Amino acid sequence: MEKKERLKAFYDKYLSPLLRHKVFSLALLLIAMVIMFTVWAELQGRGNHFFKATTLRNILNSLVVSSFLAIGAGSLLIAGHIDLSQSAVGAFGGIMLATAVARWNLPWFAGIVISLLLCAVFGALNGVLVNKYRFPSFIGTLAMASMAKGLMFLFSSIGNNGLATNIVFQNDPLSFIGMGRIGPVPFGVIVMLLFFLAYGLLISKAKFGMKVSLIGGNPIAAHLAGINSTVITYLLFMNSAVLGGVAGIFNTARLGQGALVALQTSQFTGITAAILGGISFGGGAGGMGGAFIGLLILNTFQIGMGVVGVNPDWVNVFTGLLLLIALCVDFVAQRRVSKA
């Protein structure tokens, strides 16, 4: 009897608050998923193994490009905005890097700087639309996405008889950025983890992050309490575009060419992962840890499905289902909080 009570006390004190923590429950989901795929692959008995070092590396490596999108999109979502132009601007940045290196014969770092600066301009324009002209961010950024895409095609056609093409190049530093490893760890994975760490601290511990959440919670109250939402909104839109550019750069560096179809499939990956990780669609809640685990769940699921040999078309259907389930859990949890 006494033991039972002690267990209950232990549960109330340590486990129950943990369970209520979004990141923790997502981590449990991830572990369940790993166990499921491991058992599934072993049961098939075809010599496929899910649980091994290369799978982990593959999963982490596959996160790199979309992680930058998720960080940028997540920070904006917390402030109550959405950026639909992010992947188009990122693809534009990727093409700009290839153009600078292959056509203008600039060094790789100059290409990166030019590409990121141009992305920042797009972000600033998004900021102008939302801040100055009061466009809903959904509409303004959609228009910007179309412009970025058009400009990308135009740029890739310059000096090629007006024909838009992929731009191939050979550049050692860039291929290190894309494919290189430091020890056993891919370079991109290291950069990704550093970014998650830095943005995680910025959002959940820094003054800036506190302001971002409050703006997302109630922009009017934040303004009247003296938080400069205009400046912060500009910064977040520029940040989203620049991180889109970073994703574009990694993508270009990996492929060894500026591809016109770059990031097309990632258009919603960033936003999806952020929401999966508990960043509220209405703003004001969530953090980078959740976005990271959201991304991890998404990609583990897709790669795991590949290992056990599920038809890729079904994988898309199941990914949609997974997102629905995650949103339902989030919704139910939120309802419980608001009733309490």
Partner 1 sequence: MEKSLEFKGIGKSYPGVRALDGISFKAEGGKVVALLGENGAGKSTLLKIMSGDQQADAGSVWLNGEEVHFPEPQAAITAGVSVIYQERQLIPTMSVMENMFPGALPKTKFGLFDKKRLRREAAEIIDKFGLPIDPAEEVGRLNVAYQQMVEIMKAYRRDSQVIAFDEPTAPLTDAEINILFDIIRRLKDEGKVVIYVSHRLAEIFQVTDEIVVLKDGQMVKTLNTAETNEQELIRAMVGRDIGDTYANLSRNEDFGEVILEVKNLTTPYIKDVSFTMRRGEVVGFAGLVGAGRTEVARALFGADPVISGEIILDGKPVAFKSPRDAIDHGIALCPEDRKEQGLTLRTSIINNVAMSVIDMLGKSIFVDQTQKAAIANSAVEKYSIKTPTIEKTVMELSGGNQQKVILGRWTNEKMTTKILVLDEPTKGIDVGTKAELYQRVCDFAKQGLAVMFISSELTEVINLADNIVVMHNGHVTGMVPRQDATEEDVLAMAMLD
Residues that bind partner 1 (CB under 8 A): 201, 205-208, 210-211, 213-214, 217-218, 220-228, 284-285, 337-340
Comparing CB distances to partner 1, the nearer of 258 and 286 is 286
Output the smallest distance, CB 132 to partner 1, in A: 15
Residue entry with tokens 């060419």: 257
Q: Among residues 238, 211, 40, which one has the least CA distance to residue 129?
A: 238
> Which string of DSSP letters, residue by residue, matches 24-40?
HHHHHHHHHHHHHHHHH
Residue type, 114: I
Measured in Å, how far apart are the chain's first and last C-alpha atoms? 30
Output the smallest distance, CB 139 to partner 1, in A: 20
Comparing CB distances to partner 1, the nearer of 79 and 98 is 79
Q: Which residues pair with 185 in a beta bridge?
A: 182
Output the smallest distance, CB 334 to partner 1, in A: 9
Output the smallest distance, CB 224 to partner 1, in A: 5
- CA quadruple 25, 218, 282, 331: dihedral sign: positive
Output the smallest distance, CB 279 to partner 1, in A: 13
Q: Among residues 177, 163, 158, which one has the least CA distance to residue 102?
A: 158
Comparing CB distances to partner 1, the nearer of 168 and 198 is 198
Comparing CB distances to partner 1, the nearer of 52 and 205 is 205
Q: Among residues 234, 101, 90, 109, which one has the least CA distance to residue 151?
A: 90
CB 125 within 8 A of CB 141: no
CB 244 within 8 A of CB 119: yes
Output the smallest distance, CB 308 to partner 1, in A: 40
CB 115 within 8 A of CB 96: yes
Output the smallest distance, CB 229 to partner 1, in A: 10
- Using the 8-state DSSP alphabet, how is residue 103 labeled? I
CB 73 within 8 A of CB 83: yes
Comparing CB distances to partner 1, the nearer of 111 and 283 is 283
Comparing CB distances to partner 1, the nearer of 118 and 274 is 274
Comparing CB distances to partner 1, the nearer of 117 and 210 is 210
Give the Cα separation of 48 and 112 in Å (integer): 40
Comparing CB distances to partner 1, the nearer of 160 and 228 is 228
Helix (H) or strand (E) holding 289: helix 288-307
Output the smallest distance, CB 261 to partner 1, in A: 39
CB 174 within 8 A of CB 248: no
